[in-house]
A and B are shown apart, each in its own frame.
Chain A
């Protein structure tokens, strides 16, 4: 009898018992799926994004279905920093999995403000910076397409916290690699690749966009090959670990991301098509590893890489 192989992985200094992480905005504050399985089965949980002030979010419809995916335009609804600390943070210790806080702001200085205040709280394992939001100081230009601003944000956050800082990139062709490098230079411990894709759907009966916000972010299995491309391209150019996020539906998708160079994988939209997805993906990943010739998942990372031709 051989020992059961371990699924554990390391993302920088953070050790996770398995590489499956609940993605921000798809797992609430960690306890919403507790009737389906204990959240402690996951490698980590990233909670819904928090901003300094409360945000009410967009009008409805905020979501719609597309082929093999969905659009969302929630508008970053959240209770704001103080209510988050009062009502949500005390729950985190009971999750049984490390909790990372997804942070977003409209000004560079919002990010260190959030990180500093939250670093004083118990029960937090790290931060993920969501830079897919407009920078009001730069006329609404998204941070995610501005490497200089991203570097500033990451430097400012790293100065005020000793927790790991992950930067969640937008999947923008042409600029994502530059932003990734800026985040690395700023001191990020890892990169999450990537957020949703700007997209649109039209109701042909009513002759208007399906979402009240007109456009939304595309997620789900439809985006997996696109995000895999970004993981591949970015892994080539940075040294810090990559955490993949985009369209994972099963363990094989996770393995695909690991082989492209990611060392952990987030699961998002799949929760909505199967409330027990986290549990099922972890257990089929375990079966996959058992049957494989590899003794750990670390051996799988980057296995699929061949020299790029460009």
Chain B
């Protein structure tokens, strides 16, 4: 495994926005200034408050996509109040942020890796692909499966192709790549290869995480998923972001996704039928 000891989180009361632009219909990319020594591990996130006002009140969790030379990037989909206000922010406005937070993906130094992203689950896996590529100095064995409902949900494929041996693209409406769910090319991929050493990581909607966990458990492939829950503090104190999990002894317990997640071994998740 690549041992990336997650760095200590820090608070940035006013991180200056360097760029905030739409990158695909309904999706934007935010670039903010952070100190040059800021580092993170793929899968970690930030809590972002869009301004110092009382509304929107709570921070929003956002996965870190990349950090280079004091420029931090995250991508977001506009789904509600918080992300709506975020989309209206301009260059030189400031963000209140704290992070990096949470447990990152464990990335193997060698051997094939399959990264499965659904829609706005792409950014943390983008950073996983980029990190793997930089450490291994090769794209060989890095496979990216990237699905959305339509072509608008799938972007930065050209960038990803620099880090990956192959990027498999799917859209439910067939407007780009293969028509269907991302599990389709993934299942095909699993068929014609020896999978002893394959390592799988996923981030996307709950039903997608559940189905890749099922596929991997049937085939005995280790799989990590990044899960979502509403968050308030991001540091483990409010107990808002819990998910039901099993310990290695099979005992059920709630874990806090902001500190014991968001990335978790998929075999530990007790999947909720109603979601």
A residues lining the B interface (CB < 8 Å): 25-28, 32-33, 35-36, 48, 56-57, 60-70, 72, 74, 77, 220-221, 271-276
Contacts and interface: CB of A to CB of B under 8 A. Distances in A.
B237 A62 contact: no
Interface stretch (B48-56, B162-170, B193-201): B48-56
Given A25-B238, A32-B236, A272 B59 contact: yes
A272 B238 contact: yes
B270 to A, nearest CB: 12
B238 A72 contact: yes
Contacts of A28: 235-237
Interface string B223-266: 00000011111111111111100000000011000000000000
A26 B232 CA distance: 10
Given A32-B235, A275-B235, A62 B57 contact: no
Nearest to B58: A65
B82 to A, nearest CB: 8
Interface residue SS majority, chain A: loop
Contacts of A65: 56-58
Contacts of A272: 58-59, 232-233, 238
B96 interface: yes
B239 to A, nearest CB: 5
B58 A70 contact: yes
Contacts of B235: 28, 32-33, 275
Contacts, number: 96
B78 to A, nearest CB: 15
A68 to B, nearest CB: 4
The 6 A-B residue pairs with the shortest CB-CB distance in the complex, in nearest-first order? A63-B240, A28-B237, A68-B54, A272-B232, A65-B58, A272-B233
B11 interface: yes
Nearest to B49: A273
Given A273-B49, A275-B234, 14 more contacts: A35-B10, A57-B242, A60-B229, A60-B240, A63-B230, A65-B56, A66-B57, A67-B54, A68-B55, A72-B232, A77-B254, A271-B233, A272-B59, A275-B233
Interface centre among B56, B231, B243, B254 (most CB of A within 10 A): B254
A72 B54 contact: no
Contacts of B58: 63, 65, 70, 272-273
B8 interface: yes
A77 B98 contact: no
16 contacts: A26-B237, A28-B236, A57-B242, A63-B58, A63-B230, A64-B230, A65-B57, A67-B55, A74-B239, A77-B254, A272-B238, A273-B96, A274-B96, A275-B98, A275-B235, A276-B11
Nearest to A62: B240
B57 A67 contact: yes
Interface string B41-70: 000000001000011111100000000000
B19 to A, nearest CB: 25
A273 B57 contact: yes
Interface in B186-239: 229-239
B266 to A, nearest CB: 18
